[in-house]
Structure 1
Amino acid sequence: MTDLQLIIIALVQGITEFLPISSSGHLYLTSNLLGWPDQGVKVDAAVHVGTLAAVIIYCWREVGRVIGGFFQALALRNTANSRLFLNLLVGTIPIIVAGGVLVWLDRTAMFRSLEMVAWATIVFGLLLWLADGVGMTIRKMEHMGWGSALMIGLFQVIALVPGASRAGMTMMAGRLLGFERAEAARFSLLLSIPAILAAGGHSLKEIYESGDLSLGRGVLMAMGLAFLTALPAIALMMAWLRRSGYAPFVIYRLALGAVLLAVVYGVV
Structure 2
Amino acid sequence: MDLIHVIILALIQGITEFLPISSSAHLILPKEVLGWPDQGLAFDVAVHVGTLMAVIVYFRKDVLDLLSGWSLSLVGKGLNDDGRLAWMIALATVPACLFGLLMNDIIEAHLRSISVIAATTIVFGILLALADKRSDRANKTLVSMTLTAALVVGFAQALALIPGTSRSGITITAALFLGFSRTDAARFSFLLSIPIILISGAYKGIGLVEQSAVDWQSIFIGIAVSAVSAYLCIYYFLSFINRLGMMPFVIYRIILGAILIVLII
TM-score (norm 2): 0.95
Structure 2's unaligned 5+ residue stretches are none
Partner residue of 1:207? 208
Which structure 2 residues correspond to residues 3-152 of structure 1 after superposition, within 5 A? 3-76=3-76, 77-103=78-104, 105=105, 107-135=107-135, 136-152=137-153
The 3-state SS of whatever aligns with 2:37 is coil
**Identity within the alignment, %:** 41
C-alpha contact (below 8 Å) 1:69/1:82 kept by paired residues: yes
Please give the alpha-carbon distance, in whole angstroms, between the structure 2 residues aligned to 1:79 and 1:183: 18
C-alpha contact (below 8 Å) 1:140/1:183 kept by paired residues: yes
C-alpha contact (below 8 Å) 1:54/1:227 kept by paired residues: yes
Which structure 2 residues correspond to residues 154-173 of structure 1 after superposition, within 5 A? 154-173=155-174
Partner residue of 1:194? 195
Structure 1's unaligned 5+ residue stretches are none
The alpha carbon displacement at 1:69 in A equals 2.1
Please give the alpha-carbon distance, in whole angstroms, between the structure 2 residues aligned to 1:165 and 1:43: 20
Q: AA paired with 2:143?
A: E
Please give the alpha-carbon distance, in whole angstroms, between the structure 2 residues aligned to 1:14 and 1:88: 22
Higher helix share: 2
Partner residue of 2:241? 241
Please give the alpha-carbon distance, in whole angstroms, between the structure 1 residues aligned to 2:186 and 2:61: 15
Q: AA paired with 2:53?
A: A
The alpha carbon displacement at 1:163 in A equals 0.5
TM-align CA RMSD = 1.4
Please give the alpha-carbon distance, in whole angstroms, between the structure 1 residues aligned to 2:174 and 2:106: 28
1:260 and 2:240 are equivalent in the alignment:
no
1:224 and 2:224 are equivalent in the alignment:
yes
Q: AA paired with 2:220?
A: L
Count of paired positions: 263
Please give the alpha-carbon distance, in whole angstroms, between the structure 1 residues aligned to 2:41 and 2:209: 10
C-alpha contact (below 8 Å) 1:112/1:162 kept by paired residues: yes
Q: AA paired with 1:263?
A: L
C-alpha contact (below 8 Å) 2:70/2:84 kept by paired residues: no
Q: AA paired with 2:91?
A: V
Please give the alpha-carbon distance, in whole angstroms, between the structure 2 residues aligned to 1:16 and 1:246: 14
Please give the alpha-carbon distance, in whole angstroms, between the structure 2 residues aligned to 1:12 and 1:181: 24
The alpha carbon displacement at 1:4 in A equals 1.2
Q: AA paired with 1:4?
A: I
Relative to structure 1, the CA distance from residue 117 to residue 106 in structure 2 (aligned partners, 3 Å threshold; closer, same or farther) is closer
The alpha carbon displacement at 1:215 in A equals 5.4
Please give the alpha-carbon distance, in whole angstroms, between the structure 1 residues aligned to 2:107 and 2:228: 32
The alpha carbon displacement at 1:100 in A equals 1.4
After the TM superposition, which of the residue ranges 177-186 and 61-70 deviates more from structure 2? 61-70
The alpha carbon displacement at 1:134 in A equals 2.8
The alpha carbon displacement at 1:123 in A equals 0.7
TM-score (norm 1): 0.94
